[in-house]
Chains A and B, each alone.
Chain A
Amino acid sequence: MKKGKRTALLLLLLLIMLLLSACHGSQTRGSLKIPEQLDESKPIHLVFWAKNDTNKVQTAVYRQAIDDFQTLYPNVSIDLRLYADYSRIYQDVITNISTNTTPNICITYPDHIATYLTGNHVVLPLDELIADGKFGLGGSELRYDSPKAEEMVPEFMEECRINGTTYALPYMRSTEALYINQDFVEKLGYQVPDVLTWDFVWEVSEKAMEKNEDGTFKLNGQKVMIPFIYKSTDNMMISMLKQLNAPYSSEQGEVLIFNDTTRSLLETIYQHAKTRAFSTFAISSYPGNFLNAGQCVFALDSTAGATWMGSDAPMLDIHEEQVVPFTTAVRPIPQFQPENPLMISQGPSVCVFSKEDDQEVLASWLFAQYLVSDRVQLSYAETEGYLPVTLKAQNSEAYQEYVSRKGEDNNAHYAVKIEASELLRAYTSHTFTTPVFNGSASLRSAAGQLVENVTRSARRKEELSDAYFDRLYSEVSSLYRLDQIGINAQKEENSGSRELPAESRALLIVIPAVWILIIVFRICRLRKERQKNRKTKGIR
Chain B
Amino acid sequence: MKKIVALVLVLMMAVCSAAALAEEEKVMTHEEYIAAELDTAVTLETYVQATQAWWDGKITVYAQSPDGAYFIYNMTCAEEDAAKLVPGTKIRVKGYKAEWAGEVELAEGATFEIIEGEPFIAEAEDVTAKLGTDELINCQNELVAFKGMTVEAYDETGAAFAYKNAENKTDDLYFKVSKDGATYDFCVEYYLCNESTDVYKAVENLKVGDVIDLEGFLYWYNGANPHITKVTPAQ
Contact = CB atoms under 8 A, between A and B. Distances in A.
Interface of A: 52, 54, 56, 59, 80-84, 282-286, 289, 317-319, 322, 456, 459-461
B96 A82 contact: no
Contacts of B166: 56, 59, 82
B171 interface: yes
B4 interface: no
Contacts of B41: 460
Most B CB atoms within 10 A — which of A56, A59, A82, A282? Answer: A82
B165 A82 contact: yes
B165 A84 contact: yes
Given A284-B100, A285-B100, A319 B167 contact: no
Interface in B159-208: 164-168, 171
A83 B165 contact: yes
B153 interface: no
13 contacts: A52-B167, A59-B166, A81-B168, A83-B168, A84-B171, A284-B100, A285-B100, A285-B222, A317-B222, A319-B223, A322-B222, A459-B39, A461-B39
B40 interface: yes
A319 B166 CA distance: 23
A80 B167 contact: yes
Prevailing SS type, chain A contact patch: mixed
A410 B131 CA distance: 33
Contacts, number: 46
Contacts of B38: 459
B57 to A, nearest CB: 9
B165 A54 contact: yes
Given A59-B167, A83-B165, A460-B41, A318 B222 contact: yes
Interface in B5-40: 38-40
Contacts of A322: 222
A291 to B, nearest CB: 13
Given A56-B166, A80-B167, A84-B165, A460 B101 contact: no
A289 B101 CA distance: 9
Nearest to B167: A82
Interface string B135-171: 0000000000000000000000000000011111001
B121 interface: no
Contacts of B212: none
Contacts of B107: 456
A451 to B, nearest CB: 14
Nearest to A461: B39
Contacts of B223: 319
A460 B164 CA distance: 34
Nearest to B157: A56
Interface residues of B, number: 19
Most A CB atoms within 10 A — which of B39, B108, B164? Answer: B39
Contacts of B114: none
Contacts of B168: 81-83
Given A83-B168, A284-B100, 15 more contacts: A52-B165, A56-B166, A59-B166, A59-B167, A80-B167, A81-B168, A82-B165, A83-B165, A84-B171, A285-B100, A286-B101, A317-B222, A319-B223, A459-B39, A460-B40
Contacts of A54: 164-165
A319 B96 CA distance: 28
B98 interface: yes
B125 to A, nearest CB: 25
Contacts of A80: 167
Nearest to B38: A459
A461 B41 CA distance: 11
Contacts of B96: 456, 460
Contacts of A82: 165-168
Contact of B164 (A84, A283, A461): A84
A460 B39 contact: yes
Ranked 7 nearest A-B pairs via Cβ: A285-B101, A82-B167, A459-B39, A460-B39, A318-B222, A84-B165, A285-B100
Interface in B67-115: 96, 98-101, 107-108
A82 B167 CA distance: 6
Nearest to B102: A285
A319 B222 CA distance: 8
Most A CB atoms within 10 A — which of B41, B96, B165? Answer: B165
A394 to B, nearest CB: 29
Contacts of A81: 167-168
A288 B39 CA distance: 23
Contacts of A284: 99-101
A286 B167 CA distance: 25
Contacts of A286: 101
Nearest to A317: B222
A460 B41 CA distance: 8
A317 B102 CA distance: 13
Contacts of B98: 283
A286 B222 CA distance: 11
A456 to B, nearest CB: 7
A284 B102 CA distance: 9
Nearest to A82: B167
A459 B96 CA distance: 10
Interface string B28-72: 000000000011110000000000000000000000000000000
Nearest to A51: B165
A37 B98 CA distance: 60
A56 B166 CA distance: 8
Contacts of B108: 282
Contacts of B40: 460
A72 B3 CA distance: 95
A6 to B, nearest CB: 65
B168 to A, nearest CB: 6
Contacts of A282: 108
Contacts of B100: 283-285
Nearest to B98: A283
A29 to B, nearest CB: 27
A483 to B, nearest CB: 18
A90 to B, nearest CB: 12
Contacts of A59: 166-167
A478 B113 CA distance: 23
